[in-house]
Amino acid sequence: MLKILFPTDYSECSNEALRYAVSLASDSGGTLLILHVVEPMSPYLVSEPTSNPYRENFLGLLKLLLADKPSVSYEERTVVGSPVAAVVGVAEEQSADLIVMGTTGRTGVKRLLLGSVAEEVVRRAPCPVLTLKIAELENAKRRRHAASVGAWPMEIAGAVSGPNLTSEETEDNPALSLLLRGIHARASDIHLDPVGTDMSVRFRIDGRLQCYCKLEQAIGQRVATQLKLLADLDIADPFHPQEGRLNLPDTLQGIDVRITTVPVALGEAISLRLLSRDRLVRPLQDLGLSAESLKMTKRMLDHGEGLILVTGPTGSGKTTTMYSMLRALDDGTRHIVSIEDPVEFVTPSFRQVSVDPRHDITLTKGLRTLLRLDPDVVFVSEIRDAEAAEAAMRAASSGKYVFSSLHTRDVASTITALRDLHIDNRSLGGNLTGIVSQRLIRRLCRECCRSDGPTAAEVDLFARYSVVSPQELNRPVGCSRCRKTGYFDRTGIFEIVIPEHDVMRAIEEGLPEDELRKVIRSHGTRSLESDALEKVAQGITTIEEFYAMTSIKIR
């Protein structure tokens, strides 16, 4: 006969655990000892009411569950004291064979001050402890289904290749299940936000944020806690922003997940950045460069020294382009070092330093240290201030090959930004090896797109940017592969300039941005708009994507 100790606070989680405990007792012909612990009043906590309004519901459920199980007997006991000590003490006194309990227990201020009852009982109990997982997960599955988690069924997501986790890994950890869904959906980011009593889950796919589902509060909190545990973050501190990396199972090798948590008005929000080595480090020819742009990029890489800048707004693919350039240079004969905030993806052949203000490793100090390591190539993830810009220029002028990024609109505005960081025109003209300005634009889904002739307005648009108008334009439709969006994956559009001759002279003479842009165009350099329209003409993307891209101010 199995003697089961069942600690309860009469909450909804206890109801779920009770169902499982009763089924265990019924299967084994065992008995239940239901234990409710009343904590003594603490000067730090608001006292609880003497009567628990949930007890009646709990006992009503217990009687209902035992109605067809006459072999199961139970005893209810209330004790005053510390919950952990009381549970462990009663288990020893009654020689309990098993403790079954929920995992939520204390929440909010009580958990911050006193810790988790379940975690401490597991460590100190004289018998095995079964914390609520199976019953809660079954309930969670029903709720997730009702909350439309299946809006994008896994069989559809399975059409996209991705890692496979065992059922044990996903069932015991809903956080991993959520990550797996995001990976299968090709999400670059997952956002979890408290909304009322629920938690909203959104995926960013091909640059667009899309609602995925809503989780009930208890389930959402569990997922959030598991994510923080995977990243070794402090689960007892929801009041300060935290950052980290998730420690993932071996089955998810090649996937890197960064987590950022931040307190918001309704609770704690979590953002996950999903990075795949296959998607982050691509051959140059797979980035979307035209034949001429690819040729210019290889010319820059063959130069051997100076400063190469990759520019664009956040989420424009700058990091992918820079890593692809660095990999093209990584032939074993060059010493490549980097200072990044943070390190996007660990590359064994690079010496990578992560910015860490807690240990006084800033971007500028890290760069100065790296320059003493005898590097051939230096990668600075971003130039953010005048000090970093000056250090990068000094490294470039000393014969090093320096790669970095800036948040600017196009090539001409990059020169203006560097001038605003107090870099003089002669240094710019002498040290700039090349500038790559870029955006990302969605590709049409090849499974469902259709073709028809361009309208008169579209023909005029092509003519305005000196692009030959095609006879047919591809249009989005939508299918299961692209989840009814009409688009699948993204490609880059580029404006690339190697400062030579008139362009270098215009920079050194300090020509204003508009005039510098005219000089650049006079040499036949394709603008971002022209490159985007060229991809429209080739059937890679659509006019609608062109207009969406140009909503970011470009000249």
Position of tokens 């010493």?
335
Position of tokens 């980035």?
287
What are the E-state strand segments in 125-266? 129-131, 187-195, 198-205, 208-216, 242-245, 255-264
Domain ranges in the chain? Answer: 3-132, 146-275, 281-442+490-525
Residue 144 three-state SS: helix
pLDDT at site 115:
45
Range list of H helices, 334-470:
363-370, 386-397, 411-420, 425-431, 456-464
- Torsion from C-alpha of 301, 280, 406, 362, nearest 10 degrees: -100
Q: What is the CATH number of domain 3-132?
A: 3.40.50.620
Sheet holding 31-38, edge to edge: 73-80, 31-38, 3-7, 98-101, 129-131
Query: Which structure tokens are listed for 407?
Result: 């948040």
**Rounded CA gap, 446 and 420, in Å?**
44
**Rounded CA gap, 7 and 35, in Å?**
5
Cα–chain center distance at 518: 39
CB-CB contact of 408 with 437 (8 Å): yes
Closest to 394 in 3D by CA, of 472, 316, 305, 318: 305
pLDDT at site 47:
43
Pairing of strands 267-276, 255-264: antiparallel
pLDDT, tens digit only, all 555 positions of the chain: 678 899 888 776 677 778 888 888 887 778 899 998 887 654 444 444 445 666 777 888 888 888 878 888 888 888 888 888 888 899 888 888 888 887 655 544 444 434 467 777 877 888 887 776 544 444 444 444 344 333 333 332 323 334 444 444 444 578 888 898 898 889 999 999 999 888 999 999 999 998 888 888 888 888 898 999 999 998 888 889 999 989 888 777 778 899 999 999 988 999 999 988 777 778 899 999 999 999 999 999 998 889 999 999 988 999 899 999 999 999 888 999 999 888 877 788 899 998 888 888 888 888 888 888 889 999 998 888 898 898 889 889 888 899 999 999 999 999 999 999 999 999 999 899 999 999 999 999 999 999 999 999 999 999 999 999 999 999 999 988 888 899 999 999 999 999 988 999 999 999 999 999 999 998 888 999 999 999 999 999 999 999 988 764 444
Long-range contacts of 151-155 (CB under 8 A, 24+ apart): 151/212, 151/213, 152/181, 152/185, 152/212, 152/483, 154/181, 154/184
CB-CB contact of 202 with 190 (8 Å): yes
pLDDT at site 120:
77
**Rounded CA gap, 254 and 346, in Å?**
10
Residues whose CB falls within 8 Å of the CB of residue 231, separated by 6 or more in sequence, listed in order: 244, 245, 246, 247, 259
**Rounded CA gap, 5 and 125, in Å?**
11
Q: Same CATH fold, 281-442+490-525 and 3-132?
A: yes
CA distances, 143 to each of 17, 148, 530 (Å): 16, 9, 49
CB-CB contact of 409 with 553 (8 Å): yes
pLDDT at site 157:
30
Query: Which structure tokens are listed for 283?
Result: 């051959």
pLDDT at site 167:
41
pLDDT at site 53:
62
- Whether pTM exceeds 0.75: no
Query: Which structure tokens are listed for 214?
Result: 């809503």
Give the chain's length. Answer: 555
Q: How many Cα atoms occupy the beta-carbon half-sphere of 474 within 13 Å?
A: 23
CA distances, 299 to each of 310, 405, 499, 519 (Å): 15, 19, 12, 21
The CATH number for 281-442+490-525, chosen from 3.40.190.10, 3.40.50.1100, 3.40.640.10, 3.40.50.300, is: 3.40.50.300
Residue burial 354-386, b: 16+ Cβ < 10 Å; e: rest = ebeeeeeebbbebbeebbeeebebbbbbbbbee
Sign of the dihedral defined by the CA atoms of residues 174, 175, 180, 183, in that order: positive
Q: What are the two backbone dihedrals, phi and then psi, of residue 258, each rounded to the nearest 5 degrees?
A: -95, 140
Sign of the dihedral defined by the CA atoms of residues 270, 271, 274, 275, in that order: negative
**Rounded CA gap, 98 and 32, in Å?**
10
**Rounded CA gap, 543 and 356, in Å?**
43
Torsional class of 255: left (φ above 0), alpha (ψ -120 to 50), beta (otherwise): beta
Rounded to 5 degrees, what angle do the CA atoms 139, 272, 258 make? 125
CB-CB contact of 189 with 210 (8 Å): no
CB-CB contact of 17 with 58 (8 Å): no
pLDDT at site 142:
44
Q: What is the CATH number of domain 146-275?
A: 3.30.450.90
Please, which residues bridge with residue 437 across strands? Answer: 311, 495
Query: Which structure tokens are listed for 274?
Result: 């999903």
**Rounded CA gap, 425 and 296, in Å?**
23
Query: Which structure tokens are listed for 87?
Result: 């549970």
CB-CB contact of 389 with 404 (8 Å): no
**Rounded CA gap, 219 and 145, in Å?**
13
CA distances, 505 to each of 118, 430, 431, 437, 508 (Å): 71, 10, 13, 20, 5
Report the first-to-last Cα separation within the chain, whole angstroms: 80
CB-CB contact of 129 with 101 (8 Å): yes
